[in-house]
Amino acid sequence: MQSNIIYQNELIFIEKEPSQIPWVKIFTQKEYKELADLPKELRSYLWDVYDVVEKQMQNYYNPTKINMASFGNMLPRVHIHVMARFENDNYFPEPMWGKQQRDTTLELADEKMFFELLRKKLEEI
């Protein structure tokens, strides 16, 4: 497993995005250009995975908001960004691709423990 991949199975893999905030990207193993291109069962599974990731981020980090993005202009394949946002993160309320608002350091719970909890929950679906 590559160091940035925190979970994978035969259908999907999840990568950690290096960032100040908790941020992961969910990919399908097979490359599809658009969500509409996915077989219905895989599309349904992808949303189940997203649901688990979002709920675990909410429970573990207690963020101000969870942001979700799915645009593949730079990487034209299906992937979903899931980001835990905080009022005092460097970009809030801007998107993470927006203009930096401040220079702060966040005090966050251990991400390795989050990844372990996330893997356990993902194995349950």
| pLDDT tens figures, 73-121 | 777 789 999 999 999 999 999 999 999 999 999 999 999 999 999 999 9
Q: Could you state, in order of their start, the residue ranges of all structural domains in the chain?
A: 5-123
* Structure confidence at residue 1 as a pLDDT band (50, 70, 90): very low
Q: Which of 80, 79, 82, 81 is nearest to 58 (CA)?
A: 82
Query: Percent of the chain having pLDDT more than 90?
Result: 90
Q: Where are the beta strands (DSSP E) in 34-78?
A: 65-69
Q: For 107, what's the count of Cα atoms within 13 Å in the CB-facing half-sphere? A: 0
Sheet-wide strand order for 23-28: 5-8, 12-16, 23-28, 79-85, 65-69
- CATH number assigned to the domain covering 5-123: 3.30.428.10
The span from the CA of 120 to the CA of 125, in Å, is 10
**CA torsion through residues 101, 57, 25, 16, sign:** positive
| pLDDT tens figures, 8-61 | 999 999 999 999 999 999 999 999 999 999 999 999 999 999 999 999 999 999
Q: What is the model's pLDDT at position 77?
A: 87
The span from the CA of 42 to the CA of 67, in Å, is 22
- Full-model pTM: 0.93
